[in-house]
Each structure stands twice: as C-alpha cells, then as structure tokens.
C-alpha cells in the first residue's frame, strides 16, 4: 500500500465530507417517483449528484457564499413575514398559479387555460410519454459543464412539483407564479420547464418568498424566433433562504430577458446559465437587490456563446447597508466559432456604510477573434459631491440619498422593458427606502 500525500488525504477527506452531507440530504427527502416520464432523468440526476456531492465551503464556486444552510438535511426555520401589502403583480391581468410552501393551491390559483399556452403540473403528469422529457433535467445537465451545480441536480432528482409550460403562440397575458410562505419550517423544491415553440412569446412573472428554504430550477427552451420575458420579485421575508437556477437554451433570432428584484431574505443565490445555440439571438440578465443587515445575495451567471452574432448583457446592481453582503460571479464564455459576439457585463454595488461588502468575480473567456466583450465591476459609497449638490439646492439629506440610490439602480431597472412592471418594481424599492429612513 502506498502512502497518501497530504494533498491526496485532504481531497479524500473533502470528498467524504461532501458525500456525508449529500447522503444526509438525500435521506431526508421524500422518495422521488420511480415511474413515469421523469423517472429516468431523476435517476440520472441522483447519480450525478452522488458523483459530485453537494457544494462545500471549500468549493471555488462557493467561495463567497456559504452553502451549508442550503445543503443541510433540515431547512433552518424562517419566521413568516406578515404584511397587508398587496401582491406585487395583483394589478396585472395574468394567469396566476399559486404555490404555498411549494404545494400547488388550486383554490388560490386561477384557471390555467390560456390561448396558445399549455400549462400542466409536474406532479400530475405521470404518463410514460411527455414533451417535457426532452428538456427536464436535460438543460440542467448541460449546464453542469464546465462548472458543477449540484443543488440543481438535487432539484431535478427530488422536485415535488412545478409547471410544464408549452407556448405555441404569442401569449395574450403573462403567466404568474406566486410563491406563498406559510410555514416556518417549509422546505420547498419546484422544477419548471418552459418550452417556447418557434415564434412564440411569453412573459413569466414570479414573486414571493416561497418557503423557509426554497430550491427552484427552471429550464427554458427558446426556439427560433421566440421570445421569453421573465420578471421576478423575490419575497420580503427576512429569514427566508433560496437557491434558484435558470437554464436557458436559445435558438436562432430568439430573445431571452430575465430581471430579478430582491428585497431582503437572509440568503439568496440566483444562478442563471444561458447557452446560445442559434445565431443572432439576444439574452439579457439583470437584477436589482437591496439588503439591510442580515442579507446575503449572490448572483451567479454563466453565458456561453456558441453561435454567431449573438448579444448577451448582464446588468446587476446592489444596494447594501448595515453589514449586508453582495456577491456577483459572472462569466462570458465565447467559443471559437462564436464570431461577432457582443458580450457586456456590469456588476455594481452601492455600499451605504463601511460594514457592508461586495465580492465580485467577473470573468471573460474568449476563443473567437471577432468579438466585442466588456465587463466592469465597482463598489462604492454615495458620491459626496452629488450629495452636497442636491442638498445645496434644498433637498433634505434622506431624500437626496434616496434619489441617488434610485439613480444608482436606474440602469438595471431600465432592463425591464414593460413600463408598468418597471414602475411597480421601482415603487417597491422606493417603499423599501422609505421604511429605512432613520
């Protein structure tokens, strides 16, 4: 028997620890369906999960965000935040689908019929054949390379429900997913599959805190010439935790736009993985996050250009105070044949005090020669000169600060194309600022 080196021993120990955590997590789950169209994908995900192990603090990809509370067997409890505030999308004419702590509520949901859109529930489609079998766990699996995303594999394996949405035309109104948090210990896992056929168009809205701990995957296949718009508001509950993944595959001349607003939440990790497979497509991924105190928000984005003349754009802004932490890991990978790629990435944080922190890892990896890619990352305080200028015109300090915060977020908010939705989002951020006036 040859003696192990220290490094080998350390690696082995790490692998053992990861296996232990993973097995404990798997054991705590309700068993996944052994039959039906998703069984194979679930079994495949389980074996991938076992091979990789759940994230560990020593993993490079989890350097800035501690994964323990997301990987441990039991969900840490989260107090339910009560407010008489109306649902953020209540004023929008929409098909509303409600999940309470991850459980579909027929009573609270509207009728799922919508012209050109078929909406089914994952938990209810148990036949052996389904269109979603070509996507479920497939885009997620493709998105595991070159960086592993074990929490997404866990989700593919164990998701208890979710929506299977197939869009064949331009939807006449948005589909809204509303996630209600009602139990202090709920641990929810939902998996959605959205398939936009050629030329189809859908706006998907999501909002709400969902559960004490929420693990959500959404796989989106945007066929040639189709458009997908995604607007999300993550709930205000201070103690909730969430890890979400979006895996999107874009066809020729397709459009994918995703915007997320996050207000509060003790821990959020939003991963977005986009792959361009057809030429002349566009993907915008943007977010505005505001956090105060015990708030950790992580945006992790990976965009792969594997087609000609595609445009990707990432715009992420965070406002952090009282020790809140922001993380951004964003990568643009341009493959050798992805000529005429236009890739843009900006991540910025406004730190309202010295205790708050922004950690960023922007990356470009480019193998094609005819591309225009740029990235930038900054963190800074409120500009004193701008502050004095505003005050010298009579604007009180707190009002001046709010104006400057909103101004800072503006370029992210502008990524919301729909003006009504943008105003709704801005209104919520303004209210957040007003609540925090000392």
Specify the residue, 308 or 409, whose C-beta has the smaller distance to other proteins: 409
403 binds other proteins (CB under 8 A): yes
Nearest partner of 63 among 357, 327, 401, judged by Cα = 327
Q: Is 419 in the site for other proteins (CB under 8 A)?
A: no
Binding other proteins (rule: CB under 8 A), the pick from 407, 427, 430, 437 is 407
Residue partners of 399: CB distance under 8 A and separation at least 6? none
Binding of residue 367 to other proteins (CB under 8 A): no
In the bound complex, what is the minimum distance in angstroms from residue 408's beta carbon to other proteins? 6
Answer for the pair 360, 378: CB distance below 8 angstroms, yes or no. no
Total residue length of the chain = 438
As measured in angstroms, the least distance from the Cβ of 385 to other proteins is 5
Residue 264 CB, nearest approach to other proteins (Å) = 23
Is there binding between residue 142 and other proteins (CB under 8 A)? no
The interface region with other proteins, picked from 22-30, 109-117, 371-379, 400-408 by CB under 8 A, is 400-408
How many chain residues interact with other proteins (CB under 8 A)?
24
User: Closest distance between other proteins and the C-beta of residue 433, in Å?
Assistant: 14
Greatest extent of the chain over all pairs of C-alpha atoms, in Å: 79
Read off the tokens for 338.
């992805």
Which segment (12-20, 138-146, 331-339, 396-404) binds other proteins by CB under 8 A? Answer: 396-404
User: The tokens of 120 are what?
Assistant: 């089914």
Among 60, 393, 419, 438, which residue sits at the site for other proteins (rule: CB under 8 A)? 393
Would you say 370 or 431 has its CB closer to other proteins? 431
Instruction: Give the one residue of 404, 418, 426, 436 binding other proteins; rule: CB under 8 A.
Output: 404
Contact 241, 268 (CB under 8 A): yes
Q: Which of 170, 391, 422, 436 binds other proteins (CB under 8 A)?
A: 391
- CA pair distance 263, 269, nearest whole angstrom: 13
Find the binder of other proteins among 410, 420, 430, 431 (CB under 8 A): 410
In three-state secondary structure terms, 429 is helix
Using the contact rule CB under 8 A, the part of the chain among 177-185, 370-378, 399-407, 422-430 near other proteins is 399-407
Among 384, 419, 435, 438, binds other proteins (CB under 8 A): 384
SS3 15: helix
Q: How many CB atoms lie within 10 A of CB 186?
A: 23
Instruction: Identify whether 10 is preceded by a cis peptide bond (ω within 30 of 0).
Output: no
Cβ atoms within 10 Å of 342's Cβ, excluding its own: 15
First-to-final CA distance of the chain: 67
Count of beta carbons in the 10 Å neighbourhood of residue 267: 23
Q: State yes or no: residue 389 binds other proteins (CB under 8 A).
A: yes
For every residue of 407-424, DSSP letters joined together read HHHHHHHTT---HHHHHH
For position 399 contacting other proteins by CB under 8 A, the verdict is yes
**Site residues (vs other proteins, CB under 8 A):** 383-386, 388-397, 399-400, 403-404, 406-411
């Amino acid at each position: 028997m040859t003696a192990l080196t220290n490094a080998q021993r350390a690696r082995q120990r790490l692998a053992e620890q990861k296996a232990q955590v993973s097995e404990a997590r798997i054991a705590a789950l309700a068993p996944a369906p052994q039959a039906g169209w998703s069984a194979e994908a679930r079994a495949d995900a389980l074996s991938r999960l076992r091979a990789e192990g759940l994230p560990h603090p020593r993993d490079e990809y989890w350097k800035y965000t501690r994964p323990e509370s997301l990987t441990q067997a039991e969900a840490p409890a989260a107090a339910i935040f009560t407010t008489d505030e109306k649902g953020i999308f209540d004023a929008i004419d929409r098909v509303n689908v409600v999940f309470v702590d991850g459980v579909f509520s027929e009573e609270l949901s509207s009728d799922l019929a919508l012209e050109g859109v078929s909406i089914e529930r994952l938990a209810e489609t148990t036949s052996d054949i389904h269109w979603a079998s070509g996507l479920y766990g497939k885009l997620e699996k493709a998105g595991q390379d070159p960086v592993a995303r074990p929490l997404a594999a866990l989700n593919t394996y164990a998701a208890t429900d979710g929506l299977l949405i197939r869009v064949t035309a331009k939807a006449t109104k948005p589909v809204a997913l509303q996630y209600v948090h009602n139990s202090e210990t709920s641990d929810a896992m939902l998996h959605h599959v959205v398939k936009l056929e050629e030329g189809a168009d859908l706006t998907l809205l999501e909002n709400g805190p969902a559960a004490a701990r929420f693990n959500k995957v959404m796989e989106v296949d945007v066929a040639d010439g189709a458009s997908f718009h995604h607007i999300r508001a993550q709930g205000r509950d201070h103690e909730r935790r969430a890890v979400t993944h979006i895996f999107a595959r874009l066809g020729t001349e397709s459009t994918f736009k995703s915007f997320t607003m996050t207000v509060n939440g003790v821990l959020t990790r939003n991963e977005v993985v986009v792959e361009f497979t057809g030429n002349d497509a566009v993907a915008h991924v943007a977010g505005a996050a505001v956090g105060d105190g015990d708030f950790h928000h992580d945006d992790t984005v990976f965009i792969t250009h594997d087609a000609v003349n595609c445009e990707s754009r990432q715009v992420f802004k965070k406002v952090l105070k009282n020790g809140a932490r922001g993380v951004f890991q964003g990568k643009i990978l341009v493959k050798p044949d992805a000529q005429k790629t236009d890739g843009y990435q900006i991540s910025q944080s406004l730190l309202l005090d010295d205790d708050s922190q922004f950690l960023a890892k922007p990356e470009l990896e480019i193998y094609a020669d005819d591309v225009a890619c740029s990235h930038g990352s900054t963190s800074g305080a409120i500009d004193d000169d701008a502050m004095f200028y505003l005050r010298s015109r009579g604007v009180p300090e707190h009002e001046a600060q709010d104006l400057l915060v909103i101004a800072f977020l503006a370029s992210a908010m502008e990524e919301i194309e729909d003006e009504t939705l943008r105003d709704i989002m801005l209104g919520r951020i303004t209210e957040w600022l007003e609540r925090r006036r000392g």
